[in-house]
Amino acid sequence: MKVFIVKDYDAMSKKAAKIVRDAILRKPDLVLGLATGSTPLGLYKELIRMHKEEGLNFSKVITFNLDEYVGLPKDHPESYNRFMWDNLFNHININPSNVHIPDGTVEDLEAFCKWYEEKIDEYGGIDLQILGIGRDGHIAFNEPGTSLGSRTHIAKLTEVTRRDNARFFDGDIEKVPKYAITMGVGTILEAKSIILLANGEAKADAIKKALEGPVTCLITASALQLHPNVTIIVDKEAGSKLELEWEREY
């Protein structure tokens, strides 16, 4: 596990963007796993800049998003589909047919989950997966108690997560969907390499438990300790409770 504690959000985003850029330069048809939330926004901004100013080419890149709310239409302002188009895809030269985001509106959600897994396999698996972390230590929507071997499935969101995400739904928890489609922890662990990002004090406990606590389904991000190629980049605040001698870059 490579862990970097960097100065601030900007340094975290830029460091992650460089890793993504280098991966695309090495493999133009990179299979890139993407996350939503406020954490990766700076990374996406930097990738857009690299595309516009440095000609970073996304035309062959294949993307798979981690998760999506069940029941939100694709064009709903808070759907993860909309988030990805607004914050990344509309600003780079991605081929729309290379974009994969779970569809929370399909009738047969179980069949969709199976199809999503097969689709990832068809492309030879995810080369590089970007992750954020929830305050309760979740990755994607793998809430506490989710099996560490889980595959893409329908997840029931916890009260904590729904409360955290209510800020995007007029502050009204009732408007936050109760279920989501999410890649499983097992799906995520099959990615060839992983970057997890976290910033801000609110994530300090989750980061401490995920990195320096036991591997447990109660903190699904702790499963990353089992992965051979994971890079964790956190800002000073998110890393403030870490005790081991990780790399500090400030």
Residues near ligand GLP, by CB under 6 A: 35-39, 66-67, 132-134, 140-141, 161
d(CA 143, CA 218): 8
100 is catalytic: no
The active-site residue out of 46, 68, 138, 235 is 138
Nearest distance in Å: CB 39, ligand GLP? 3
Nearest distance in Å: CB 174, ligand GLP? 18
Q: Which is nearer to ligand GLP, 56 or 153 (CB)?
A: 153
Q: Which is nearer to ligand GLP, 56 or 126 (CB)?
A: 126
67 is catalytic: yes
Q: Which is nearer to ligand GLP, 99 or 133 (CB)?
A: 133
Q: Which is nearer to ligand GLP, 24 or 33 (CB)?
A: 33
- Residue pair 161/138 in contact (Cβ under 8 Å)? The answer is yes
Nearest distance in Å: CB 52, ligand GLP? 24
The active-site residue out of 46, 127, 136, 235 is 136
Name, in order, each residue with C-beta under 8 angstroms of 43's C-beta and a sequence gap of 6 or more: 13, 16, 17, 20, 130, 197
29 is catalytic: no
Q: Closest Cα to residue 220, out of 132, 130, 121?
A: 132
The active-site residue out of 67, 117, 127, 235 is 67
Q: Which is nearer to ligand GLP, 30 or 133 (CB)?
A: 133
Secondary structure letter of residue 71 according to DSSP: T
The structure tokens listed for 232 are 């964790």
Q: Compute how many other C-beta atoms are within 10 angstroms of the C-beta atom of residue 45.
A: 17
Secondary structure letter of residue 183 according to DSSP: -
Q: Half-sphere exposure of residue 157, counting CA atoms within 13 Å on the CB side?
A: 26
Nearest distance in Å: CB 57, ligand GLP? 26
153 is catalytic: no
The structure tokens listed for 40 are 């990766």
Cα 211 from chain centre = 17
Dihedral (CA of 210, 213, 216, 217) sign: negative
Active-site positions read: 67, 136, 138, 143
